C-alpha cells in the first residue's frame, strides 16, 4: 500500500533521513513495513510509524556520481577509461567544454531511425555541447568528440536524471555493454532481484534490488519513485564516475533487460531512475 502523507511528513522532519519507501515492503523478518534510509544513525526515526514496523538502513550521504576523485575499476573486457571505438555501453564520457565530471555512457537508444547515446543529465549539463569519449578526466580532448547533447531531462519530482546525445557522423557503435553484452529489452525492477551494471569507475558490479519505489535525496534534490540497489561487494555497486550507467537484470532465459539508469548513491547503495519513465520522457526506445 502507499505510504501515507503523515509518514512522509514525520520523516522529512529528521535531517538524518535521506529517503524512504513509497510503498510498504515485505521486510527481511517477513513483516510488512517500510524502509527508511539515514546518513549516519537512526536519529529520531521510531521503530513503528502508524503501526508499521520500520527498518532503518544506514547508507551515508547520497550524491550524484559524476565525480572523478576515486579509482576502483574492476572490469571485464575493455578498460572503460580509455578511448574506445566502436562505442559501447559502460565507458567514460563527459561534456566539453566545462565538464562537471566524467560519467558513463549507459547504452544506446533510438528516436525513429536516429541512434543516440544515453547517460545522466548531470553528466551532460548543456544541450548542443560536445560529448567526449573518453571524458576529460580520463584524458579526453576535442579530438575525442563522439556526439552532441540533444535532449536532457533533470526532473527530481518525476524521478528522472537522463540525457541523450546525437552520435557524430563516422563514429561507429556496437549495441553492447562492456563486460555484460547486448540488452534484449526493458522491464520493471523487482524486490530481491539481482542487478548488474558496468561503469566508468567501478567496472562490472552486482547487487540486489531492495526498493522499487522510494524517495531519495540525491545531491540535495529529492528524487521520487527511485529504485535502490544494495551492493554485494564492500566497494559498492557504483561510485563517482558511474552516473549514467544502465542497470540490468536477467530474465528466466538468461537474457539481459534494462531496469534503470544510475543517478547517484552512497558508499553502500545506488539510486536508480526506472527505465520506463526515462525513455518515455526522452521520447526514445532502447536500441536492440
Q: Give CA torsion, residues 5, 10, 11, 15, to 10 deg.
A: 140
Instruction: Tell me the mean pLDDT in the region 135-147.
Output: 96
- pLDDT(273) > 90: yes
Q: What are the DSSP E strand ranges found in 173-202?
A: 173-177, 185-186, 194-199
Cis peptide before 134 (omega within 30 of 0): yes
Average pLDDT, the chain: 91
- pLDDT(256) > 50: yes
Tell me what pLDDT residue 268 has: 86
For 175-224, the pLDDT digits (tens) are 999 999 999 999 999 999 999 999 999 999 999 999 999 999 998 899 99
* Residue 104 · residue 245 · CB < 8 Å: yes
For residue 15, name the pLDDT band (cuts at 50, 70, 90): confident
- pLDDT(67) > 70: no
Between 65 and 48, the more confident residue is: 48
Tell me what pLDDT residue 14 has: 80
Counting residues of the chain whose pLDDT is more than 90, the rounded percentage is 71
Interatomic CA distance for residues 169 and 279, integer angstroms: 23
* Residue 245 · residue 201 · CB < 8 Å: no
Helix H or strand E encompassing 11: helix 5-12
Among 32-36, 123-127, 242-246, the least confident range? 32-36
- Compute the 3-state secondary structure of the chain and give helix, strand, coil in percent, each to the nearest 5: 10, 45, 45
Interatomic CA distance for residues 269 and 58, integer angstroms: 10
Amino acid at each position: 500500500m502507499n505510504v501515507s502523507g503523515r509518514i512522509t511528513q514525520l520523516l522529512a522532519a529528521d535531517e538524518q533521513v535521506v529517503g524512504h519507501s513509497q510503498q510498504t515492503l515485505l521486510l527481511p523478518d517477513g513483516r510488512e513495513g517500510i524502509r527508511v534510509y539515514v546518513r549516519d544513525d537512526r536519529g529520531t526515526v521510531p521503530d513503528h510509524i502508524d503501526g508499521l514496523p520500520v527498518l532503518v538502513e544506514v547508507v551515508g550521504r547520497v550524491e550524484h556520481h559524476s565525480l572523478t576523485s576515486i579509482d576502483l575499476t574492476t572490469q571485464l573486457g575493455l578498460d572503460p577509461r580509455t578511448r574506445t571505438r566502436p562505442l559501447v555501453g559502460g565507458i567514460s564520457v563527459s561534456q566539453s567544454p566545462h565538464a562537471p565530471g566524467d560519467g558513463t555512457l549507459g547504452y544506446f537508444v533510438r528516436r525513429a531511425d536516429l541512434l543516440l547515446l544515453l547517460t545522466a543529465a548531470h553528466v551532460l549539463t548543456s544541450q548542443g555541447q560536445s560529448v567526449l569519449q573518453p571524458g576529460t578526466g580520463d584524458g579526453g580532448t576535442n579530438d575525442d568528440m563522439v556526439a552532441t547533447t540533444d535532449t536532457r531531462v533533470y526532473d527530481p519530482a518525476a524521478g528522472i536524471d537522463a540525457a541523450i546525445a546525437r552520435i557524430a557522423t563516422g563514429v561507429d557503435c556496437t549495441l553492447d555493454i562492456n563486460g555484460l553484452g547486448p540488452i534484449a529489452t526493458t522491464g520493471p525492477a523487482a524486490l530481491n532481484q539481482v542487478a548488474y551494471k558496468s561503469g566508468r569507475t567501478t567496472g562490472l558490479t552486482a547487487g540486489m534490488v531492495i526498493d522499487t519505489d522510494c524517495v531519495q535525496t540525491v545531491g540535495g534534490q529529492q528524487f521520487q519513485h527511485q529504485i535502490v540497489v544494495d551492493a554485494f561487494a564492500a566497494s559498492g555497486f557504483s561510485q563517482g564516475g558511474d552516473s549514467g550507467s544502465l542497470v540490468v537484470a536477467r530474465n528466466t532465459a538468461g537474457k539481459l533487460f534494462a531496469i534503470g539508469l544510475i543517478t547517484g548513491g552512497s558508499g553502500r547503495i545506488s539510486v536508480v531512475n526506472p527505465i520506463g519513465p526515462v525513455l518515455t520522457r526522452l521520447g526514445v526506445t532502447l536500441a536492440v
